[in-house]
């Protein structure tokens, strides 16, 4: 009789322990260090501030898995996810959004261009797009009104007015056949008001150079 009572007591204790372990369905709480949504400049650096995790049964969990990457050299929106799992197999997660942006993106858009070359005025429309790989750089599609005249400008301080602008020396095969050719452009200018800027440039083709000024006004 005594033996049966001992067996019964052990069975009850085992049952209680089994139920207690099986009842842990609470996920660990993951808390981000730093902001949950952050924006950084293209080509800058980003250091992951990390996260902490705590479980109601296991306490602090130091093994936190991190998935996702941030490419600081490519514009885009990146998501980093932190995961922590407790002894009972419950997993808690938290995500962070990191946006990588070109600080010159505000200059993207449609423009009316006035191009003065050796006293002659030419007016046309062009589109400016921001570079996805180089901060402070933008692209135009038909510089000096040339077909395929894609060149890039650099805004020294894109979010400040006034700001200097550079047309780095670059050679582009552009123009309409049979007048297409390798043309080398270089120059500089300034943006003095929001949505408008000018570029003084030199165009060299087959050893001959001409000077011009392009003024861009955002539509």
- Domain with residue 145: its CATH number is 2.40.128
Do both 128 and 201 map to the same domain?
yes
111 burial (CB, 10 Å; 0-12 / 13-18 / 19+) is buried
Do both 36 and 118 map to the same domain?
no
Look at residue 9 and tell me whether its pLDDT is greater than 80. Answer: no
Do both 187 and 174 map to the same domain?
yes
Do both 194 and 117 map to the same domain?
yes
- Is 4 inside a domain boundary? no
Looking at per-residue pLDDT, the higher value among 6 and 218 belongs to 218
Omega before residue 178 within 30° of 0, cis:
yes
Which pLDDT value is given to residue 11?
Answer: 47
Look at residue 13 and tell me whether its pLDDT is greater than 80. Answer: no
Do both 76 and 117 map to the same domain?
no
Looking at per-residue pLDDT, the higher value among 160 and 14 belongs to 160
For residue range 79-120, what is the model confidence (pLDDT) as tens digits? 999 999 999 999 999 999 999 999 999 999 999 999 999 999
* Banded pLDDT at 22 (limits 50, 70, 90): low
Q: What is the pTM of this model?
A: 0.85
Do both 110 and 194 map to the same domain?
yes
Question: Domain containing 82: what range?
Answer: 25-101
Domain end (from 101, 135, 154): 101
- Is 1 inside a domain boundary? no
3-state secondary structure 114-176: EEEECCEEEEEEEEEEECCCCCCEEEECCHHHCCCCCEEEEECCCCCCCEEEEEEEEEEEECC
Do both 113 and 91 map to the same domain?
no
For residue range 42-52, what is the model confidence (pLDDT) as tens digits? 999 999 999 99
For residue range 182-201, what is the model confidence (pLDDT) as tens digits? 999 999 999 999 999 999 99
Which pLDDT value is given to residue 23?
Answer: 85
In degrees, rounded to 5, the angle at the alpha carbon of residue 185 between the alpha carbons of residues 159 and 134 is: 40
How many separate domains does the chain show? 2
Do both 126 and 202 map to the same domain?
yes
- Is 2 inside a domain boundary? no
For residue range 120-168, what is the model confidence (pLDDT) as tens digits? 999 999 999 999 999 999 999 999 999 999 999 999 999 999 999 999 9
Dihedral of the alpha carbons of 131, 137, 138, 144, in degrees to the nearest 10: -130
């Amino acid at each position: 009789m005594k033996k049966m009572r001992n067996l019964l007591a052990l069975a009850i204790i085992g049952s209680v322990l089994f139920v207690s372990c099986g009842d842990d369905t609470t996920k660990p709480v993951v808390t981000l260090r730093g902001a949950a949504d952050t924006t950084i400049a293209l080509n800058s650096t980003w250091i992951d501030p990390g996260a902490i995790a705590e479980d109601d049964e296991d306490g602090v969990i130091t093994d936190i898995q991190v998935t996702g990457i941030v490419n600081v050299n490519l514009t885009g929106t990146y998501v980093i996810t932190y995961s922590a799992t407790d002894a009972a197999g419950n997993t808690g997660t938290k995500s962070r959004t990191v946006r990588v942006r070109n600080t010159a993106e505000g200059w993207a858009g449609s423009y009316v261009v006035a191009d003065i070359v050796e006293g002659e005025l030419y007016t046309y429309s062009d589109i400016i797009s921001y570079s996805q790989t180089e901060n402070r750089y933008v692209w135009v599609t038909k510089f000096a009104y040339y077909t395929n005249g894609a060149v890039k400008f650099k805004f020294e301080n894109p979010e400040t007015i006034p700001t200097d602008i550079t047309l780095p020396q670059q050679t582009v095969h552009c123009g309409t056949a049979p007048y297409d050719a390798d043309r080398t452009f270089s120059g500089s200018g300034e943006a003095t008001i929001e949505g408008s800027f000018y570029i003084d440039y030199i165009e060299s083709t087959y050893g001959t150079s001409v000077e011009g000024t392009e003024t861009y006004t955002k539509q």
